[in-house]
């Protein structure tokens, strides 16, 4: 809830009961997408350690969540793309240290993005972590056979995601402010 910019309040009185109030910002997907869009030729935002992660996901809410989550890992710069083709363009221009990839995108499948990344010498060695709601054994096996480094299911376990990021970016969690 906090990662999505929301608040939680409680109103409680003995003998009357308890009411919880959850407030989340209202934002249309189109407006959120406009805010997320970046120029592919622009350099990635500066991170303290120089590490760059590309997150390709067609859901602006997921991207916002990732942006907030990475505030806990300021050494990681984040590039984002709502389309597979745009994500490939960013990968070719910036050669990120890690790609987080949604399995289903509007213009191509995550698997097709993987094939393009693997076929290009500029991106063939970039580790890829698939993040998908599709956890069928066929889907997971297909991505594993394509050479992914990890497969995370949605809804994301934020703790698990941070462990995976720390492993890929060689971070000792005890050295980080969480």
Please list the pLDDT of the chain residue by residue as tens digits (178 residues): 666 667 778 888 888 888 877 776 665 444 445 445 555 555 555 544 579 999 999 988 889 889 888 888 888 999 999 999 999 999 999 999 999 999 889 999 989 999 999 999 999 999 999 988 877 788 778 887 877 888 888 888 888 988 999 898 876 544 444 4
Element (H, E) at 91: helix 84-94
Give the distance from CA 112 to its chain's centroid. Answer: 18
Q: If you count DSSP H runs as helices and E runs as strands, how many of each does the chain have, helices first?
A: 6, 7
Q: What is the pLDDT of residues 163-175, one digit of tens each?
A: 999 898 876 544 4
| Distance separating alpha carbons of residues 20 and 18, to the nearest angstrom | 7
The CATH number of 28-175, from 3.20.20.80, 3.40.50.300, 3.30.530.20, 3.40.50.2300, is 3.40.50.2300
Q: In the beta sheet, which residues pair with residue 55?
A: 80, 100
pTM of the full structure = 0.71
**Whose CA is closest to 117, among 108, 61, 156?**
108
Q: Under a CB-based contact definition with an 8 Å cutoff, are residues 80 and 66 in contact?
A: yes
**Whose CA is closest to 30, among 89, 65, 82?**
82
Alpha helices, DSSP H only, in 48-83?
Answer: 60-69
Domain boundaries, the chain: 28-175
| Distance separating alpha carbons of residues 6 and 56, to the nearest angstrom | 24
């Amino acid at each position: 809830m906090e990662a999505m910019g929301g608040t939680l309040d409680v109103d409680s009185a003995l003998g009357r009961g308890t009411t919880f109030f959850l407030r989340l910002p209202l934002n249309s997907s189109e407006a959120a997408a406009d805010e997320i869009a970046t120029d592919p030729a622009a350099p990635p935002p500066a991170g303290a350690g120089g590490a760059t992660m590309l997150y390709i996901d067609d859901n602006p809410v997921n991207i916002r969540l990732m942006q907030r989550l990475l505030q806990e890992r300021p050494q990681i710069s984040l590039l984002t793309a709502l389309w597979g083709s745009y994500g490939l363009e960013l990968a070719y221009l910036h050669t990120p240290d890690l790609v987080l990839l949604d399995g289903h995108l509007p213009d191509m499948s995550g698997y097709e993005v993987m094939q393009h990344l693997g076929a290009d010498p500029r991106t063939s060695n970039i580790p890829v972590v698939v993040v998908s709601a599709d956890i069928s054994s066929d889907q997971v096996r297909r991505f594993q056979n394509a050479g992914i480094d990890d497969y995370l299911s949605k809804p994301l376990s934020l703790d698990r995601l941070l462990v995976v990021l720390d492993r890929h970016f060689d971070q000792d969690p005890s050295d980080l402010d969480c």
